[in-house]
Copies of this chain bind each other. A is one copy, B any other.
Amino acid sequence: MEKAADTNGTGPTESAESRQYLGLRDGIASRISTGDLKPGDKLPSERQLQGEFGLARGTIREALFLLEAEGAIFRRDRSGWYVSPPPVVYDPTRWEGFMSYVEAQGRVPTTFTISTATIPADPLLSDIFSRPLGAPLHHIRRLRSVDGRAVLVEKLVVDAAITPGLLDFDLNTSLTAILKRNFGITVARNQISMQPCALTGDEAVDLRQKSGLPGLALQRVSYDGHGRVVEYDHEYWRHDAVQITVDLRVR
């Protein structure tokens, strides 16, 4: 609805609408909304767009960057611009893990474990897990994709004292399921915190993005039924891959 409301110019301020690059933006956005360009389709090259619209290269790029910022198109390595697939809907008030809710939306989720390590707790993590300084904690770094496109990188920390041998399991699946099936751990409370961010450093590298792309940083502290912290999670999503929704009714 976001983009449609903007291109329909329903707001009271439309002063900027006259600029050239906005015209090109609207042209491409309308090809996407009519289905002339479909999710995953490659856009014409910048040179082709230049010829077709008779605009300067800089103007073409301005329009493309705006569409990228709006989440409508994205860059794939050096091969050019593509129409973004629809975002995955994430409802923080529901319990399903990534593998479940992505599948329920008719998409194909995959998980790739980048690295694992068991590391002594530093002061911050010792505090979060209520464990002594230096207590062993499992660190797991994973890349998660939807329909083959990398959408988030996550850094998981799990209390090693209650999950011996965890790193020997196949972690390219649901961690929730592994914890439940093999260690009898069930999450009873999630404290979730999200903040828009810019993707930088290792996160940008793992998502194959230029540093600075808007993203969403999500932290999750998971407790078991005894109020014990069992998992501490950082997720970094690319901005066009996720939509957070909450439906709130008076009870």
Within 8 A of B (CB), among A184-204: 188-198, 200-202
Given A69-B212, A243-B195: A93 in contact with B248 (beta carbons within 8 A): yes
In the complex, which residues of chain B have a beta carbon less than 8 angstroms from the beta carbon of A140?
A: 12
Given A5-B124, A128-B1: A248 in contact with B12 (beta carbons within 8 A): no
Query: Which residues of A are interface residues toward B (Cβ below 8 A)?
Result: 1-2, 4-5, 8, 10-13, 15-16, 22, 65-66, 68-71, 87, 92-93, 95, 114-117, 119, 122-125, 128, 139-141, 155, 157, 188-198, 200-202, 205, 211-212, 214-217, 219, 225, 234, 237, 239-240, 242-250
Q: Are A200 and B10 in touch, CB under 8 angstroms?
A: no
Known: A11-B155, A11-B202. 14 other contacts (CB 8 A): A5-B234, A10-B119, A12-B115, A12-B140, A13-B141, A16-B201, A69-B198, A69-B211, A95-B248, A189-B249, A190-B247, A191-B246, A195-B239, A246-B246
Q: Could you say how many copies of this chain the assembly holds?
A: 2
Q: Are A245 and B197 in touch, CB under 8 angstroms?
A: no
Query: In the assembly, what is the distance between CA of A246 and CA of B193, in Å?
Result: 6
From the candidates B116, B123, B198, B249, name the one contacting A70 in the complex (CB within 8 A): B198
CB distance from A30 to the nearest CB of B (A): 14
